[in-house]
Amino acid sequence: MRTQVAIIGGGPSGLLLGQILHKAGIDTIILERQSRDHVLSRIRAGVLEQGLVDLMTQAGVGDRLARDGIPHHGTILTHDEKELRIDFTRHAGRPVIVYGQTEVTRDLYAARDASGAPILHEVSDVELHDLDSDRPHVRFTQNGKSQRIDCDYIAGCDGFHGVSRQSIPSEKRREFEKTYPFGWLGILSETPPAHHELIYANSGRGFALCSMRNPMLSRYYVQCRVDDHVDNWTDQAFWDELRHRLPSQYADTLVTGPSIEKSIAPLRSFVCEPMQYGRLFLCGDAAHIVPPTGAKGLNAAAADVFYLSDALQRRYLDQDVQALEGYSARALARVWKIERFSWWMTSLLHRFPDQSEFDLRMQQTEMAMLAEDNRAKHTLALSYVGLPY
């Protein structure tokens, strides 16, 4: 097989990159390790920055998002019984849009199918070769048969555990990582949300988040031990713990119901530098991870897609052979700002095992400064709704 750009990973970032390049007349083949059903079963964030909304529109897959996406003009931060609302429209000039990542992926699959562009599922033994030459290629196995794709460039959109980043020689990359001493226990329930905007709660028992996917589908999280297991939590135990962590006005009106999904996610901050090596370019979780506090994972990947698709279009459509050389530096400049915001939100809202009384007072003082200073609200709002590309 031969293509211009081989895309490793068929999640939302790989699909979005493929769709934008297809619209520009650039050929791609997407390789995905899992089945389509598995990809669509993954429960992920649902808060979209305007930049990602605009990319979906550019890719020709924004109709359902425009119809069903729910604008959120602010968010609630609480510390025990104290509450602070951050008004996005006032302080940043635009809202975020609530629209589930599964729905983003579903829209992109539909567009890929309509285009007839190939996506190969359930591939294994993926190997990237000759990345530092002008003739890279990909080897893989599908249905027990060994295959090869020759290409001009490779986009690594295959996540933290994928092959792409590991294909960069260790002496050519530098990795920065911070792991957090807790996880998030999350459930999905067919219940109305606790509030029409997201609630980020810091309590003496730990962090909690109340979010939503639509008016009758809610996503809730509580901070838990990093070594905890979902089997330790009945639905009733989860709802009881969530109530303990919310201000009484929300706890008293919380509507509960059976969980339809339950999982625990560890939290980490991670960055790989550079995000390119030869003809290989990393996107999204293959290059960087953020803790979910602040809903930046998918949005950070979308920014990478913007920078890489822009450089590839300039390379193919404008014959700008230098366009791709600046991809990593351009992407990383934004990535580190997103890392800072997600780390700061995590530090502000969680209870740490070794937290001292001084540390707790610093959290309380940070909340007080946010409440009193519009400049601080402005800074938080700008980061939350999305920094410019």
Enumerate residues 6+ apart whose C-beta is below 8 A from 174: 272, 273
Distance CA 376, CA 372 (A): 8
Catalytic site residue 384?
yes
CB of 70 within 8 A of CB of 99? yes
28-31 vs 119-120, strand pairing mode: parallel
What stretches of 114-173 adopt beta strand conformation (E)?
119-120, 123-129, 137-142, 145-150, 153-156
In DSSP terms, which residues pair with 282 in a beta bridge? Answer: 156
Could you tell me which residues come within 8 angstroms of residue 270 by beta carbon, excluding any fewer than 6 positions away? 160, 175, 176, 177, 178, 288, 289
Sort residue 63 into left (φ over 0), alpha (ψ -120 to 50) or beta: alpha
Residue 169 burial (CB < 10 Å; 0-12/13-18/19+)?
A: exposed
Q: Please tell me the distance from the alpha carbon of residue 50 to that of residue 192, in angstroms, as a whole number.
A: 25
Active site residue 200: yes
Bridge partners (DSSP) of residue 179 are: 268
The tally of CA atoms less than 13 A away on the side-chain side of residue 373 is: 10
List the catalytic residue out of 91, 296, 350, 377.
296
Say how far residue 52 (Cα) sits from the centre of its chain.
11
Provide the CB-side half-sphere exposure for 253 (13 A, CA). 9
Q: Is 38 one of the catalytic residues? A: no
Catalytic-labelled residue, pool 153, 221, 292, 327: 292
Is 72 considered catalytic here? yes
The catalytic residue among 99, 109, 153, 200 is: 200
Q: Which of 12, 22, 72, 91 is catalytic?
A: 72
Q: Tell me which residue has tokens 């990809």.
A: 39
- Which two structure tokens, joined as six digits, stand for 380? 């938080």
* Residue 8 burial class via C-beta count within 10 angstroms: exposed 0-12, middle 13-18, buried 19 and up: buried
Name the amino acid, one letter, at 20: I
Q: Which of 345, 278, 341, 276 is nearest to 304 (CA)?
A: 276
Sign of CA dihedral 232, 237, 238, 241: negative
**172 noted as active-site residue:** no
Q: Residues with catalytic annotation? A: 72, 200, 292, 296, 384
